[in-house]
């Protein structure tokens, strides 16, 4: 069946998924990056999920805080209060006050016509209780019907879908040039589409959507349009939307 979370009324395909927000202009996975992506006109926000030591869902890509904050150590070993003491500026002084946001904060920010793509970054999402809590939080935030769960781990997204059978799931791959069954969204690394240009056609026959893994897609938009890909990922939504001829920053597209 088609992916409900990306069937966005009034938005043309390919949909634009803002990769970690707008990480070209702001520190990744921060409220600043998400707000910028929304201002750019993104159709969906993509983020990464970890859990703190006290079980809070937080938006951060790495298993540690070392790269994106001014702290050190595993996310899973820190409480939310400890995480909040760190700047998530990615070393950019003008964003010193940014913090690692919670999923609840992101859900509160999300407009009604924008979807949410959550990449599950830890095996904690194999735990049924954690999956149930995630589904409950998404429902409480009013975003469950607009959310898709993603992972390189098929087992993680299947575990979440077991807790919410109507929640669409997506599988990301770096190596398989043939679409698998059992998921609603496929995210192949973009060169795999050169190896197998029939990939989107085969996926579409099963009602699956295709969003190539390509954070800087502008030079290959012609290919994704030719192959009828359903969505594109972008680190700089403004430039990609401008390249698609949609709302965006034309100056950024030419940079």
pLDDT digits (tens, 9 = 90+) for 185-211: 999 999 999 999 999 999 999 999 999
Q: Cα(46)–Cα(64) distance, rounded to whole angstroms?
A: 19
Cβ neighbours for 149, distance < 8 A, ≥ 6 positions apart: 118, 120, 156, 157, 160, 161, 167, 168, 169, 170
C-beta of residue 196 within 8 angstroms of C-beta of residue 178? yes
Residue 42 has pLDDT above 60, yes or no: yes
Split at pLDDT 50, 70, 90, the class of 247 is low
* Annotated catalytic residue, options 13, 19, 23, 220: 19
**What is the reported pLDDT for 7?**
73
Whether the bond into 7 is cis, omega within 30 of 0: no
**What is the reported pLDDT for 229?**
97
Is 19 among the residues known to form the active site?
Answer: yes
Residue 182 has pLDDT above 50, yes or no: yes
Split at pLDDT 50, 70, 90, the class of 249 is very low
Is 50 among the residues known to form the active site?
Answer: no
* Annotated catalytic residue, options 11, 35, 61, 176: 61
CATH for 4-247, among 2.60.120.260, 3.90.320.10, 3.20.20.190, 3.30.70.260?
3.20.20.190
Cβ neighbours for 84, distance < 8 A, ≥ 6 positions apart: 99, 100
Distance of CA 124 to the CA centre of its chain: 18
Split at pLDDT 50, 70, 90, the class of 6 is low
Structural domain boundaries in the chain: 4-247
């Amino acid at each position: 069946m088609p992916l409900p979370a990306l069937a966005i009324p009034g938005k043309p395909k390919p949909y634009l998924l803002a990769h970690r927000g707008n990480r070209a202009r702001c520190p990744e996975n921060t409220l600043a990056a998400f707000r910028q992506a929304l201002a750019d006109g993104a159709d969906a926000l993509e983020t990464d999920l970890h859990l703190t030591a006290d079980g809070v869902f937080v938006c951060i890509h790495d298993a540690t805080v070392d790269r994106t904050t001014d702290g050190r150590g595993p996310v899973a070993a820190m409480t939310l209060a400890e995480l909040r003491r760190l700047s998530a500026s990615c070393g950019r002084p003008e964003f010193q006050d940014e913090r690692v946001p919670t999923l609840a904060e992101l859900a509160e920010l999300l407009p009604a016509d924008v979807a949410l793509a959550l990449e599950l970054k830890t095996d904690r999402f194999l735990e049924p209780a954690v999956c149930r809590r995630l589904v409950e939080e998404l429902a409480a935030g009013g975003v469950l019907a607009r959310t898709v769960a993603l992972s390189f781990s098929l087992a993680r997204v299947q575990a979440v879908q077991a807790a919410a059978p109507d929640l669409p799931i997506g599988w990301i791959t770096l190596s398989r040039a043939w679409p698998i069954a059992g998921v609603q969204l496929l995210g192949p690394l973009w060169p795999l589409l050169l190896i197998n240009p029939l990939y989107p056609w085969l996926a579409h026959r099963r009602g699956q959507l295709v969003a190539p893994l390509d954070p800087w897609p502008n030079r290959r938009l012609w290919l994704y349009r030719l192959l009828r890909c359903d969505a594109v990922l972008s680190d700089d939504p403004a430039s990609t939307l401008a390249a698609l001829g949609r709302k965006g920053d034309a100056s950024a597209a030419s940079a």
